[in-house]
Amino acid sequence: MKPYYSKKVIERFLHPKNFGKIKDANGVGKVGNPRCGDLMELYIKVEKKNNKEIIKDIKFNTMGCAAAIATSDMICDLVRGKILKEALKIGYQDVADKLGFLPPIKVHCAYLAQEGLKAAIKDYQKRKK
Amino acid sequence: MPKIYLDYAATTPIDPKVLKAMLPYLRKDFGNPSSIYYLGQKALGAVDEARKTVADFLGCDAGEIVFTGSATEANNLAIFGVIKTTKITKPHLITSQIEHHAVLEPCRELEKQGVEVTYLPVNKEGLVGLAEVKKAIKANTVLVSIMYANNEIGTIQPIAELSKLIKKTNPKILFHTDAVQAVNYLDCDVEKLGVDLFTLSSHKIYGPKGVGALFVKKGVSIAPLIRGGGHEAGLRSGTENVAGIVGLGAAIKEIQNPKHKIQNIGIRQLKDKLIKNILKLIPDANLNGSQEHRLPNNVNISFQGAEGEAMVIALDQKGIAASTGSACSSKSLEPSHVLLALGLSEEEAHGSLRITLGRPTCQEEIERFLKVLPPIIQRLRQISGYQL
């Protein structure tokens, strides 16, 4: 028997490390819609170091299914400490791969995480101007 | 950790007596009921006996029962079957917005073929209004299909009253009810209910999967969907699922066992306890459906700030099986059409959890559930950032 979710998804879902808000976040991305079920908010704190913009911290609040919570938590781990340019290279497939396996109907949750990150970075860049 | 099953509206375990009744027909008495020699006639006798048992339960003649491969098939047969034989050129069909997909999808298909369909709204409790039905009836209305009890919220429709109203308006209009969820708990006398067509399922009543039945009142003309050797009086060809049909018969017999009638009272009490305590223990939670017109085994509650699929997965990790109307758990990624029809927002539908009790459900299971659920909801609310 193959369980619906992989062990990694269940582990992330049950014990996410990165949920919550960042009080002094300088970028916030809100994605998803209530119709599809998932609402994701990603908070990033970007800091400049030697002229490089680095994601110092990232957190999330997600109202959604186990996969949406797992992908939210995973993208935080994947981009924390990365410079913005590199963070933007992280695709939904990277998120899905890191989770081992996502049911096909849940791949859009990984996509949502990617979109959330993009939205947060966009918000940061807008605020910077 | 013992597993706790609280999804009896999805399916039920087979009753040991039912299984025992079925086994001979899978082994030594494997004959085809169409064969004229002993082994065949033995199988035919068993099918006939099951037919008689189901007919007695419904208060009808054995000749009015058609066995099918599922309740979905029975619903399809009722709806397509009636429309296929009608002489009215542009027939009209009335149903409700909260029907099972096994009724809604045939209706949608017929709409594509030019049939006029009215999908009646329901009130906050999930009840179809008599006035709405009356208003919807037209000169070309040939069939009304309203479910007896809803599978998601357990709301019980006033079938007998609806029938009286329909027949008073136009006695020629046929009335079908999908009674799949009702059979365990409610009076299923088709004469009292005043229905012409009545669908039931075996696997929801502690019988095997793969068997359903349709009551077709004598004189009601329907056309078959499956043609072949002319089984089931020509309405459903295909060699009878003998063991399955015997199982359905045995399950119907068992429902009438006084033991289960008493057990049903206990189920109702556990259901009331569950609702009361969930609403007491967990803030921002609302009961979906009706308090009064509700199946004794159904609980459906929405929790704000938490999503249903996540609840189901978290409960599963604790060995508890339950269900949700959230889009995230559906194949279509659409929230429950039933909850939306009640007027719930999409968020509220996403935060729904359905717990359905059954014969094996005991006090200890309910208590364990009540211990496990509150921290799950609390945790999901932390993750979603929901502020109480």
Q: pLDDT tens digit string along B269-284?
A: 999 999 999 999 999 9
Contact A61 B383 (CB under 8 A): yes
Tokens (6 digits) for A47: 């800091």
DSSP B25: G
Q: Cα(B220)–Cα(B81) distance, rounded to whole angstroms?
A: 10
φ/ψ region of B296 (left if φ > 0, alpha if ψ in -120 to 50, else beta) reads: alpha
Window 132-191 of B, Cβ < 8 Å to A: none
Look at residue B2 and tell me whether its pLDDT is greater than 90: no
Average pLDDT score over residue span B204-231: 98
Contacting residues for B219 by C-beta, under 8 A, at least 6 apart: none
Q: Is-contact A37 B360, C-beta < 8 A?
A: no
Residue A49 contacts B, CB cutoff 8 Å: no
Tokens (6 digits) for B114: 């030019």
Catalytic member of A20, A21, A30, A36: A36
φ/ψ region of B284 (left if φ > 0, alpha if ψ in -120 to 50, else beta) reads: left
Compute chain A's Rg from CA coordinates.
14
Q: Which residue of A has its CA nearest to B337?
A: A35
Mean pLDDT over all residues of chain B? 97
Residue A66 contacts B, CB cutoff 8 Å: yes
Contacting residues for B6 by C-beta, under 8 A, at least 6 apart: B320, B321, B322, B355, B356, B357, B361, B365, B369
Catalytic member of B60, B188, B328, B362: B328
Q: Is-contact B315 B4, C-beta < 8 A?
A: no
CA nearest to B215, candidates B148, B134, B119: B148
Compute chain B's Rg from CA coordinates.
22
Look at residue B320 and tell me whether its pLDDT is greater than 70: yes
Q: Which residues of chain A have pLDDT under 50?
A: none
Q: Cα(A106)–Cα(B198) distance, rounded to whole angstroms?
A: 38
- CA dihedral sign, ordered B102, B60, B222, B202: positive
Q: Cα(B187)–Cα(B205) distance, rounded to whole angstroms?
A: 14
B347 vs A contacts (CB less than 8 Å): 34, 63
Contact A61 B326 (CB under 8 A): no
- The secondary structure element, H or E, covering residue B278 is helix B258-281
pLDDT of residue B118: 98
CA nearest to B249, candidates B59, B51, B28: B51
Mutate: best of B332, B346, B377, B383, partner A, most A CBs <10 A: B383
Q: At what angle do helices B38-58 and B242-255 cross, to 10 degrees?
A: 30
Average pLDDT score over residue span B17-37: 98
Written out in words, the top-level CATH class of the domain with range B16-256 is alpha beta
Average pLDDT score over residue span B73-77: 98
Contact A65 B346 (CB under 8 A): no
Q: Cα(A113)–Cα(A77) distance, rounded to whole angstroms?
A: 12
A105 vs B contacts (CB less than 8 Å): 331, 333
Residue A1 contacts B, CB cutoff 8 Å: no
Shortest distance between the Cα of B361 and any Cα of chain A, in A, equals: 25
β-sheet bridge partners, residue B259: none
Tokens (6 digits) for B377: 């909801």
Tokens (6 digits) for B149: 């009890």
pLDDT of residue B1: 62
Q: Cα(B276)–Cα(B285) distance, rounded to whole angstroms?
A: 11
Per-residue model confidence as pLDDT tens digits over B321-361? 999 988 777 777 788 999 999 999 988 999 999 999 999 99
Q: For chain B, give every residue range classified as CATH 3.90.1150.10.
A: 4-12+258-384
Window 349-388 of B, Cβ < 8 Å to A: 350, 382-386
Report how far apart, in Å, the C-alpha atoms of B80 and of each of B103, B226, B305 are.
Answer: 10, 11, 42
Q: What is the CATH number of domain B4-12+258-384?
A: 3.90.1150.10
State the maximum Cα–Cα separation within chain A, in Å, rounded to a whole number. Answer: 54
Shortest distance between the Cα of A85 and any Cα of chain B, in A, equals: 28
- Residue in this structure with the two tokens 């502690």, named with its chain if needed: B206
Q: Is-contact B85 B221, C-beta < 8 A?
A: yes
Average pLDDT score over residue span B34-40: 98
Mutate: best of A43, A63, A72, partner B, most B CBs <10 A: A63
DSSP B232: G
Q: For chain B, give every residue range classified as CATH 3.40.640.10.
A: 16-256
β-sheet bridge partners, residue A45: A57
Residue B328 a catalytic site member: yes
The sheet carrying A27-32 orders its strands as: A27-32, A39-49, A52-63
Residue B31 contacts A, CB cutoff 8 Å: no
